[in-house]
Amino acid sequence: MKIFIADDYQSATPKLAAWSKLAGHDVTVCTETIKDPSKLPAGIEQAEALLLIQQRAPFTQAHLDRMPNLKVIAQTGKNVSHVDMDACTKRGVAVVAAGVGSPYAPAELTWGLIFASLRSIPQEVAALRAGQWQSTVGVGVHGKTLGIYAYGKIGSLVAKAGAAFGMKVICWGRGASLEKAKADGFEAAASREALFSQSDVLSIHIPLNAETRGIVTAADLALMKPTALFVNTSRAPLVAAGALESALKAGRPGFAAVDVFEDEPIYGAAHPLLKMDNVVATPHLGYVEQSTYEMYFAAAFDNLVAFAAGRPQNVLNPDALAAK
């Protein structure tokens, strides 16, 4: 089967142990994005199978029209909100995905960003390389308040690490989320407003969907302390468009650490947050970790191999098989 792997920025997939699963297939790795259907990588129109990495690029009717030989789309993870499922089903293109994933990698990165911001690690590394010595005074987390917005698989890990560092942890979210937090010994914030106003570090771990898009508003951010740090390793559109940039300029919160942006990838530092000294930012590295990649891609490769062998599995749109 002729397989194209899209949006593999670092060409990471051929270096995985799981890569051997694709032996015998004709595989092309695309390091460029396929977001624009009018600028697809050369040869991709011949693809019989396409592997999409998380939600790095949408897949639309316009993409389908440029790929007449496509039979199957494999997805890492199980979130296919970026795929036009109706169009795929009508065309007879199966979408296969397995719900695997790990909360550890994004939780670890969240704490990496927290410490990078509070201890000015990027600035100090750059200053030391430039011949300077100790140009900042950092801020510790012991005795401070950590706010967790959505106590799920990732949020709970971040909360437990905060408690281990001696932080007071307060949580907010839906009823089940709060009940789980309280069962684990954490305090529910007195209100949503209290979460924002009392947190010294506020980390959001909310899934992005139609209900949660823009859930963090300018008014929410304005409640935060001038010394507070806002952390987002989930999805950028959870915050109302432009609200974080404006809030940081106004001084509430005083700092931000982000791993996600509205339109990715970003080249040429073409985002206002990347021009602000009170922001530490990384290029969506939350799940970009060796063991997580092995898990995600092993499952996706297994789905492709099974499909090629005539044994489709984990098909999210089974009607596509009948259409084909």
- The CA distances from residue 236 to 55, 267, 302, 313, in Å, are 13, 17, 31, 32
User: Hey, how many other C-beta atoms are within 10 angstroms of the C-beta on 118?
Assistant: 19
Q: Are 117 and 109 in contact (CB under 8 A)?
A: no
Q: Catalytic: 187?
A: no
Q: Catalytic: 142?
A: no
Query: Both ends of the chain: CA-CA distance in Å?
Result: 16
CA dihedral 45, 49, 52, 58 (to 10 degrees): 50
Spatial separation of the C-alpha atoms in residues 153 and 104, rounded to whole Å: 9
Spatial separation of the C-alpha atoms in residues 316 and 72, rounded to whole Å: 11
Query: Which residue in this structure is represented by tokens 């999210």?
Result: 316
In the set 205, 235, 252, 271, the catalytic residue is 235
In the set 108, 264, 289, 294, the catalytic residue is 264
Q: Catalytic: 284?
A: yes
In the set 56, 63, 205, 284, the catalytic residue is 284
Q: What are the residue numbers of the active site?
A: 235, 264, 284
